[in-house]
């Protein structure tokens, strides 16, 4: 009696598995049929290959991957600084180096301001120094002065430092000025402050350039 019942259960299990498998096949067939109908109703359009795409697409990305270097790039000046900028920051400015045509000098090519929402509660002046080849230059001196009478030479950061800079200097409410002190003249970025004692950053880039 027990063996008959066991055999019956085995046959029932095999039949159930066959029915289940058939059900899967049926479902698969129905899905395939539905997809074929959809494809017939809507013609398939393939994306063009990379070589066929509009060249304008690549123009958008070129600034991020281009290895070209300009020895005299246009100044990148944060519009929140200087006359017409944010209150209390109107006095931030560049004092140009006094150089003749064809003379090398340290030119400010970028001044970026980071407000309280961008600074990460930091309050620092970051300075990057580049050569004519747009690569980092080590061994230069940064002269930092202030309206309060400071005259300091911050220690240079090693290449690969998290600051991505040659120098950094924490601000504490004074009005700060920075320039490269070297055999060549240097522009100066002057009047950097912490407006209303708020934590803000300044990111400055100097590049060795030749006066055109």
| 60-104 residue pLDDT tens | 333 343 457 998 999 999 999 999 999 999 999 999 999 999 999
The pLDDT of residue 147 is 93
| 122-146 residue pLDDT tens | 999 999 999 999 999 999 999 999 9
Where do the structural domains in the chain lie, given as residue ranges? 75-210
The answer to whether the beta carbons of residues 89 and 195 sit under 8 Å apart is yes
- pLDDT, average across residues 45-52: 40
The answer to whether the beta carbons of residues 166 and 129 sit under 8 Å apart is yes
What class does CATH assign to 75-210?
Answer: mainly beta
Distance CA 26, CA 20 (A): 10
Over 90: is that where the pLDDT of 210 sits? yes
| 159-201 residue pLDDT tens | 999 999 999 999 998 999 999 999 999 999 999 999 999 999 9
The answer to whether the beta carbons of residues 102 and 94 sit under 8 Å apart is no
Q: What is the pTM assigned to this prediction?
A: 0.69
């Amino acid at each position: 009696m027990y063996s008959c019942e066991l055999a019956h259960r085995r046959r029932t299990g095999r039949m159930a598995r066959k029915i289940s498998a058939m059900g899967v096949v049926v479902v698969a067939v129905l899905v395939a049929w539905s997809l074929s109908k959809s494809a017939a109703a809507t013609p398939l359009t393939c994306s063009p290959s990379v070589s066929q795409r509009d060249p304008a697409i690549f123009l958008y990305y070129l600034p991020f991957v281009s290895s070209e270097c300009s020895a005299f790039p246009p100044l990148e000046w944060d519009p929140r600084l200087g006359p017409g900028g944010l209150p209390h920051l109107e006095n931030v400015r560049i004092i140009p180096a006094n150089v003749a045509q064809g003379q090398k000098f340290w030119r400010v090519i970028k001044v970026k301001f980071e407000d309280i929402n961008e600074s990460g509660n930091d309050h620092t002046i970051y300075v990057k120094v580049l050569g004519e080849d747009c690569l980092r230059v080590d061994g230069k001196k940064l002269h930092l002065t202030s309206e309060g009478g400071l005259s300091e030479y911050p220690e240079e950061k090693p290449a690969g430092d998290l600051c991505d800079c040659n120098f950094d200097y924490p601000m504490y409410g004074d009005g700060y000025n920075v320039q490269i002190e070297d055999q060549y003249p240097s522009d100066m970025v002057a009047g950097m402050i912490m407006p209303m004692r708020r934590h803000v950053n300044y990111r400055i880039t100097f590049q060795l350039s030749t006066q055109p």
